[in-house]
Amino acid sequence: MNHVSPLIVTMPHSGEKIPDECFWLKNLSEQVLMCDVDRYIDLIYEESLQSLKIPYHKTEWHRYAVDLNRIPSDIDRDSVQGSLNVSGMHSRGFHWVVTTLGDKLMQSPISLQMHQDLCSLIYEPFHEGVRNLFKQSFEEHKNVFHIDAHSMPSKGTAQHKDPGQLRADIVISDCLGSSCSSYFRDLVIAAYVTAGFRVGYNWPYVGGRVTEQYGRPSLGQHSIQVELNRMLYMDESTKKISSNYVDVQLKVRKALNYIKSELPNLKI
């Protein structure tokens, strides 16, 4: 009898802790510092994950310091000294130089040594935790199904593919069909629709480095990215949570329960 869930969840952008090394992020206003953080996404998901006994992994660290949905080579001359990548190539890369609203974060690039130190402090431990989730689940299952949970602005900014466009409640992304089985994709979409969300697919997001790295359907690793519209549960201007978050929590629980209960019937 299986005791470990074949479903796992990660939250790589939920953290708000700033490393001492990241002096450039100190003393910023809350609105700037929280502009691109998936604030409250752990609050929305965590209680349901625990009660449904779905293993998960999240971070305490701020994505501007190290973005866990990037890879260490996603740097440029503006973020790390000596990078061969041209200025502006990774402004919102491994170390964020500018927010999606255009606020400058880094005034000058950091040293290669600091880049490596931040990798060791933040990036490597997080991804070791993700790999361990897969490993534990594979001990009892031939296929492991992974949701990378995020939040998104309700409207695209000038830095996005969809400037000014209002977005769906949920955006499901599978790296244009390459990161998971179509059966799992359809199940996840059905789950969030059944829970009462308006769901979009691969627009304006197609999936990040996490789904790209861990999505290996031929090896039984099925990864999908799920973006939740922040307007549903928070004031996007003040970055404060709204009373609606409880309703969103319940909908997310319904979606997760749907996915978990239907996975045994999934044809792969």
β-pairing verdict for 199-201 and 170-173:
parallel
Which residue, chain included where needed, has tokens 């244009």? 176
Looking up residue 238, the CATH number of its domain turns out to be 3.40.630.40
pLDDT tens sequence across 171-227: 999 999 999 999 999 999 999 999 999 999 999 999 999 999 999 999 999 999 999
Looking at the domain assignment, is residue 11 inside a domain? yes
pLDDT value, residue 2: 56
Looking at the domain assignment, is residue 160 inside a domain? yes
Q: How many independent structural domains does the chain possess?
A: 1
pLDDT value, residue 139: 96
Say how far apart CA 42 and CA 40 lie, in whole Å: 5
Which residue, chain included where needed, has tokens 């799920």? 226
Average pLDDT, the chain: 96
pLDDT value, residue 1: 47
pLDDT tens sequence across 96-124: 999 999 999 999 999 999 999 999 999 99
Looking at the domain assignment, is residue 182 inside a domain? yes
Say how far apart CA 47 and CA 44 lie, in whole Å: 7
Looking at the domain assignment, is residue 228 inside a domain? yes
Looking at the domain assignment, is residue 111 inside a domain? no
Helix, strand or coil, per DSSP, at residue 10:
strand
Looking at the domain assignment, is residue 202 inside a domain? yes
β-pairing verdict for 221-229 and 240-241:
unpaired
Full domain range(s) for residue 175: 7-61+130-263
- Which of these, 178, 185, 179, 162, lies nearest to 223 by C-alpha position? 179
